[in-house]
């Protein structure tokens, strides 16, 4: 994935790269950080929903829809783009 991103950035002349290996490593690092942040966001959304599991079950609300809404809210609060 990092290689594809780098190729696209170079092709569009968004960046000028002298050390492709270092650029790929930097892209990998950014992507990994983003994926980990998204995983933490998902974990927190699940935790929040579990705290209200009985109310959710009693209301017959759709867990997936609630999960998506909670996830979006947390992301928005943190300035995280999904």
* Domain assignment of residue 39, given as a range: 2-78
Q: Residue 9's pLDDT is what?
A: 95
Q: Residue 56's pLDDT is what?
A: 87
Q: How far apart are CA 42 and CA 37, in angstroms?
A: 9
User: Are the CB atoms for 63 and 49 separated by under 8 Å?
Assistant: yes
Number of domains in the chain: 1
User: Are the CB atoms for 2 and 21 separated by under 8 Å?
Assistant: no
Per-residue pLDDT of the chain (82 residues; tens, 9 = 90+): 999 999 999 999 999 999 999 999 999 999 999 999 999 999 999 999 999 998 888 888 899 999 999 999 999 999 998 8
Q: Residue 82's pLDDT is what?
A: 87
CA 6 to chain centre: 20
The tokens for 50 are 């579990």
From first CA to last CA, the distance across the chain in angstroms is 18
User: Are the CB atoms for 46 and 25 separated by under 8 Å?
Assistant: no
């Amino acid at each position: 994935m990092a290689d594809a991103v780098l190729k696209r950035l170079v092709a569009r002349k968004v960046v000028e790269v002298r050390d492709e290996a270092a650029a790929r490593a930097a892209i990998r690092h950014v992507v990994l950080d983003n994926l980990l942040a998204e995983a933490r966001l998902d974990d927190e959304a699940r935790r929040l929903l579990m705290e209200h599991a009985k109310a959710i079950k009693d209301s017959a609300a759709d867990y997936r829809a609630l999960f998506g809404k909670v996830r979006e809210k947390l992301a928005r609060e943190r300035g995280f783009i999904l």
